[in-house]
Chains A and B, each alone.
Chain A
Amino acid sequence: MGIEEADMRVIVRLLGETASLSGGLMNKKLYLLDGLCDLAGSREWAWSLASTNAKMESFFVRRKIGESFDLPMELTESSSASSLLESIPDRAFSHLICCTHTVNANTESKIMLLRDPKDPAYSIREIHLASLVLDEIPWLHWRDWKTPAPSLSKLSPRLQWTMDLLLLGLGRKEIADKMGISEGTVSGYIRSLYHQFGVNSQAELMHLRLQDPSQS
């Protein structure tokens, strides 16, 4: 399936702008995925790295574009973002574009473009444009230029779940509600995570995930 010249131009312009950015891979990735969100009429995007041999290991970055809205049903009802991600087939749902990329023998990267459920479903054209970029630009799925293989931290399932929710920007109370446990327990998990990653706040933790390793 081909694409129209006007669409080709928009993609070339976006990629050209991305190429002109200074900064490292993460900087370019943020810019390109934000631009792709605009292009496909998505409201936010998510990126995950999951190890295929140890199911619960995952890495999850997400960024909101514009105003916030409730998480899509699929995400809120899931027991964990990482296990949910594994169950989403490529480009499956009417409000979700998902692209899976094999980074190396045991690591898989997924990038999703999410649309507000209140908005109309993705059109074939939008899915086509977005997947063209997601499929053809391998570094969108990498952590840094030199070593596409990610360094995943080993976390227990509970800690991983907490981590996923923290990275989604949820508060302590919301996390407790979602996991069906007390706020006190969540606090314990969070302390343990902060310690493990050497940070003092959720913002720092989220920032850490967005940072380019080559810059730090």
Chain B
Amino acid sequence: MKRFVLFVLAATSFHPAFAADGDAAKVARGKYLVTTGGCNDCHTPWHIGPSGPEPDMSRMLSGHPESLVIEQPAAVPAAPWESIASNTHTAHSGPWGVSFTANLTPDPETGLGKWTLATFTQTIRTGRHLGRGRMILPPMPIPMYRNFNDEDMAAIFAYLQSIPPVKNRVPEPLPPTTAVTPATSGTR
């Protein structure tokens, strides 16, 4: 009996269908985390729908639209106001300059198509662009998201790699009109 159980375990462990089930479960978990974690709030361009402003899911997670050209930081009202968002919710102007949300779809040239899980995890954990570059700017909640465990990071990345690719080249951030240190620390 024990031998039979071992055989069944071995057979199921190596069967591709079971691996696929595991991948599907991981993607489903990633979808759950992405949709409840607020990623679409900024990485999907908003438009005016039948009931008012809402994410335009036909451009899901494709970041700030390159067609919406912004060349200068916005004039922010007096305190306590600090930042202003574009009507797409994808550009944010504040003391850091203007940040544009990234294209999270798997397009190889303009999205995450060439990223590895390591790139993704390093990016979220360090708060650095591409895992090793400039600091990622507000309002990206790096201080919160860096607390995802490895399993959740892998699930989120698996889901992002599974969604439809959208070719959309997001612009580089604009500097503030007067230089300030980026809000997230750690540069040297």
Do A and B pair up? The answer is: no
Residues of B at the A interface (CB closer than 8 Å) are none
Residues of A at the B interface (CB closer than 8 Å) are none
